[in-house]
Structure 1
Amino acid sequence: MLLFLHLLLLVVVVVVAGSDGAEHTNNWAVLVCSSRYWFNYRVGSFCLQYRTVKRLGIPDSNIILMLADDASCNPRNKFPARVYADRGRHIELYGDNIEVDYRGYEVTVENFIRVLTGRMDPSVPRSKRLLTDDRSNIFVYMTGHGGNEFLKFQDNEEISAFDIADAFEQMYQKKRYNEIFFMIDTCQANSMYSKLYSPNILATGSSLVGENSYSYENDNDIGVAVIDSYTHHILSYMEHINKTSHLTMSDLFASYDPSKINSHPGVRTDLFNRPLSQTRITDFFGGVSQVEVRPPPASPNEHQHQHQQDQERAPLPLRAASPTPESADVTRTSVRREVRAWGAVTILAALIGWAGTRK
């Protein structure tokens, strides 16, 4: 019985240690707007995701922002250096400290894949790199114009659902993530996560295959639509989330209302290994304080003591050594201690065996 209790305690310790290792230690966000030109102003409202993740604690150093066009500096913009997400212009998305990592013609399929997989030229600065590891949770958000299993980049090239799936698999093989939350807003968006096959990925899209994703409202002063319906819904929901919120991904997905979004958002969970009801929204949208436990610095006295020990352990030059009474006493003492230790082990083993035979 005693032996069984010892084995049970060992199993509990191993299980607890394994569960601690499964938690993530840092959050990252990769935000991509693949459309350009003034009439795609509403696509630029994806900056609300940038605004949200920064508000919830993810720093700019952990955000990769890819913006194909800068509507804030467009000559047609009546409100220079501003991008709004509603007709009343209550929510300004750019702010004063936005950091765009890839701008204009830097936003390409190749650069996006390189960011995800880490296959970067040595000259690329750290601010343009996704410096993740196997303890990182990554939020990947994409928006633009697309179709069945493809998303256009600046009306010049396309990325397919296969490309994204293979990029995520490379990330998994290279241990570049713990979990990924993939969100995409485009026409037929749900087709873009249909080819994913890597573990620990949660995905959602704004519309079914064969279904369009529509804009929400226009602003007469700006002259174009300012936000998409799906994006507007996400913004409205996330505005009520704070850093300490206990709302889960299940709550977020339950808030989807096709009659308000004007499309049917989808969710894919078969690759994800956690219940959505136990996965907080801030596990992907919020910041994580990275803590590393280190031993306390040694005091000067400890340094001196360690130095003396190192000197005592240093090998001495070979010479004829004659035994002394003191060394003989030390030898006899060490032998007696060793005999007592083995005797204690033998007695303990006998007691365990006796306890195991009792009914």
Structure 2
Amino acid sequence: MRLLCGYLLYLIYILCNKWAHSTALEIPEEFQKSSHSNNWAVLVDTSRFWFNYRHVANVLSIYRSVKRLGIPDSQIILMVADDMACNPRNPRPATVFNNAHQHINVYGDDVEVDYRGYEVTVENFVRLLTGRLPPGTPRSKQLLTDEGSNILIYLTGHGGDGFLKFQDSEEVTSQEMADAIEQMWQKRRYNEIFFMIDTCQAASMYEKFYSPNILAVASSLVGEDSLSHHVDPVIGVYIIDRYTYYALEFLEKVQPDSDKTMGEFLEVCPKRVCISTVGVKRDLFPRDPYKVPITDFFGSVRPVEITLTGLDIEAPPLVQNKSVPVATTEKTSSKYHQIPLFPSHLFVES
């Protein structure tokens, strides 16, 4: 019996080893490998008032997409300047829709807003990025990134040539944005950044960037307005912006194991449907966007380590520290998971 148990455990080890190698090979060989070990998202809606309903729908739609593709709430910073779900003008309380046909309630049951209302300020935003937060700041309000972090930064609101307004009372300039990211680079707070902004004259916000490893996309060029998509007659206001609408149409077709690339994503919303001209800045980004999986920024990398600790068997050594993308919806850290080799624990949901 003892010999049989040992034999079964050895078979399990072989199967698990094959599974680890096959999973690691799922990414097509033509993709350029990233050296990042974890993914974060900073999603910011900077505007207030009921007529800006669409900006809340924008940011919550991106929030829903990155959660669906595996980034947990513990690694998402969500900043919403106005709570449209609870606005007294909302005829459908506790809901926010990004389509007049009400296909998806992007507010849902598990939205975790980290900065709400008057907490959404330029100072808090810059402090968040640079890590210069007051002592005692809760972990949920901190961007706990490191030199292995890929960060998606998404901004939506009202802007102009070289600035983005925060709640119609202050603004962050393109130079301040560039300097904040440079501080992040100097303090080793990121590996790569994908900067995405949907506002009028959006491209002006990335023109001053000078730090390495940044890929940026904007919904409009300097001198152009970024337009909304359609009105919901029930609530009487525009419900989503045009660029984000088509970006989400693309993201809804992406799965955690998708072979879609960032290059393909940069092509969403051509001028015939966007009306404004989508701008792209790639000179600071060394990798070819068409060889970068979209999940490098919109998904999650979860390093997995397989171990034989506690098992008294002889077996060839495993290849350690294979990083494989694993979808998750729970709050977990990016530390390695120890997977014991027993039949009921062969595959652990992170």
Distance 1:198 1:42, change over 3 A: same
CA distance in 2, matches of 1:135, 1:21: 13
Structure 1 unaligned residues grouped into runs of 5+: 1-19, 300-359
Matches within 5 A, 1:125-140: 125-140=138-153
Residue 242 of structure 2 corresponds to 229
CA distance in 2, matches of 1:257, 1:298: 57
Secondary structure at the aligned position of 1:207 is classed as: coil
Determine the structure 1 residue equivalent to 2:214: 201
Match of 1:37 in 2: 49
Task: State the one-letter code of the partner of 1:44.
Answer: V
Query: Judging changes above 3 Å, is the alpha-carbon distance between structure 1 residues 218 and 275 closer, same or farther for their aligned structure 2 residues?
Result: same
Provide the C-alpha distance between the structure 2 equivalents of 1:82 and 1:256, rounded to a whole number of angstroms: 26
Match among 183, 188, 194 for residue 181 of structure 1:
194
Larger strand proportion, structure 1 or 2? 2
Higher alpha-carbon deviation: 286-295 or 78-87 = 286-295
- Name the structure 2 match of 1:49: 62
Q: What SS does the corresponding residue of 2:39 show, helix, strand or coil? A: strand
Distance (Å, rounded) in 2 between the aligned partners of 1:141 and 1:292: 32
Q: Which residue of 1 aligns with 2:272?
A: 259
1:216 aligns with 2:240: no
Structure 2 CA distance for aligned equivalents of residues 116 and 166 of structure 1 = 11
Aligned partner of 1:68 among 81, 84, 89: 81
- Residue 95 (structure 1) aligned with residue 108 (structure 2): yes
2:34 and 2:296 in contact (8 A); partners too: no
Alignment pair present for 1:144 and 2:157: yes
Aligned 1:161-176 pairs, distance under 5 A: 161-176=174-189
Alignment partners' CA distance in 1, 2:73 and 2:268? 29
Q: Flag the structure with higher helix content.
A: 1
Q: Cα distance 1:144–1:105, how it changes in 2: closer, same or farther (>3 A)? A: same
Aligned identity (percent) is: 57
> How far off its partner does 1:287 sit?
1.2
Amino acid in the other structure paired with 1:266 = G
The change in CA–CA distance for 1:297 and 1:112 in structure 2 (over 3 A counts) is farther
| Aligned equivalents of 2:287, 2:306: Cα separation in 1 | 27
In structure 2, distance between residues paired with 1:76 and 1:290: 45
Deviations 1:258-305 (A, max 9, x none): 110110001000000101111111100001113357894699xxxxxx
Aligned to 1:348: none
Q: Secondary structure at the match of 1:254?
A: coil
Alignment of 1:278-357 (within 5 A): 278-291=291-304, 296=309
Letter in 1 for 2:219: S
Change (3 A) 1:235 1:245: same
1:154-206 residue CA offsets vs partner (Å, 9 max, x unmatched): 00100000111001000000000000000000000001000000000000000
Normalising to structure 1: TM-score of the pair?
0.76
* Paired residues of 2:247 and 2:268 also in contact (CA < 8 A): no
Q: 1:67 is aligned with what amino acid?
A: V
Task: Give, in angstroms, the shift of residue 120 of structure 1.
Answer: 1.0
Match of 1:23 among 22, 35, 55: 35
Quick one: distance in 1 between partners of 2:202 and 2:55?
Answer: 14
Matched, 1:79 2:85: no
RCO higher in 1 or 2 (8 Å CA, sep ≥ 6)? 2
Amino acid at match of 1:187: C
The code of the aligned residue for 1:203 comes to A
CA distance in 1, matches of 2:241, 2:133: 33
**Residues in 2 aligned to 1:191 and 1:219: alpha-carbon distance in whole angstroms:** 30
Q: In 2, Cα distance between the equivalents of 1:195 and 1:292?
A: 41
- Measured against aligned partners, the alpha-carbon deviations of 1:289-343 in whole angstroms (never above 9, x if no partner) come to 13357894699xxxxxxxxxxxxxxxxxxxxxxxxxxxxxxxxxxxxxxxxxxxx
Distance 1:297 1:149 in 2: 59
TM-score, normalisation: structure 2: 0.78
Structure 1 residue 255: Cα displacement: 3.1
Q: How many residues align?
A: 280
Deviation at 1:89, TM superposition (A): 1.0
Deviation of 1:253 after TM superposition, in Å, equals 1.6
Partner-residue secondary structure (3-state), 1:139: strand
Name the CA distance, whole Å, in 2 between partners of 1:87 and 1:30.
27
Q: 1:163 to 1:294 in 2, by over 3 A?
A: farther
1:123 is matched with: 136
- Counterpart in the other structure of 1:277: 290
- Shift, 1:257, TM fit: 1.1
SS in 2 for 1:39: helix
1:247 maps to what in 2? 260
Larger radius of gyration: 1
Q: Distance in 2 between matches of 1:85 and 1:124?
A: 32
